[in-house]
Structure 1
Amino acid sequence: MKKLPRMALIAALYAAFTILPPFYAFAYGPIQIRVAEAFTVLPFLFPETIFGLTIGCFLANLLGQVGFLDIVFGTLITFLAALVTSKMKKAYLAPLPPVLFNSFGVSLYLAKLFQVPYFYSVFYIMIGELIACYGIGYPILKILLKRGIVRR
Structure 2
Amino acid sequence: MTGMNIIGFLDVFVGTLATFLAAVCTYKLRKIEFKGMPLLAASMPVIFNAIFIGMELAIAYFPATIMMGFAINAFQVGLGELLACFVVGLPLINVLKKTKLFNEKM
Shorter-chain TM-score tier: 0.7 to 0.9
Would you say the 8 A contact 2:54–2:70 is kept in 1? yes
Residue number in structure 2 paired with 1:71: 12
Matched to 1:73, the amino acid is V
- Give 1:13-24 correspondences, 5 Å limit: none
Residue number in structure 1 paired with 2:42: 95
Shift of 1:109: 1.2
Cα RMSD (Å): 2.1
Name which one, 1 or 2, has greater alpha-carbon Rg.
2
Shift of 1:150: 4.7
The question of 1:106 aligning with 2:53 is answered: yes
Matched to 1:125, the amino acid is V
Q: Deviations over 1:26-72 (max 9, x none)?
A: xxxxxxxxxxxxxxxxxxxxxxxxxxxxxxxxxxxxxx833121100
Shift of 1:99: 0.3
SS in 1 for 2:20: helix
**Aligned-pair identity (%):** 36
Residue number in structure 1 paired with 2:92: 140
Matched to 1:98, the amino acid is P
Name the count of aligned residue pairs.
89
Q: Please give the alpha-carbon distance, in whole angstroms, between the structure 2 residues aligned to 1:92 and 1:151.
A: 23
Higher relative contact order (CA 8 A, sep 6+): 1
Would you say the 8 A contact 2:57–2:69 is kept in 1? no
> What is the TM-score with the length of structure 2 in the denominator?
0.73
The question of 1:125 aligning with 2:77 is answered: yes
Consecutive unaligned residues in structure 2, runs of 5 or more? 63-67
> What is the TM-score with the length of structure 1 in the denominator?
0.52
Consecutive unaligned residues in structure 1, runs of 5 or more? 1-63
Q: Please give the alpha-carbon distance, in whole angstroms, between the structure 1 residues aligned to 2:72 and 2:55.
A: 11
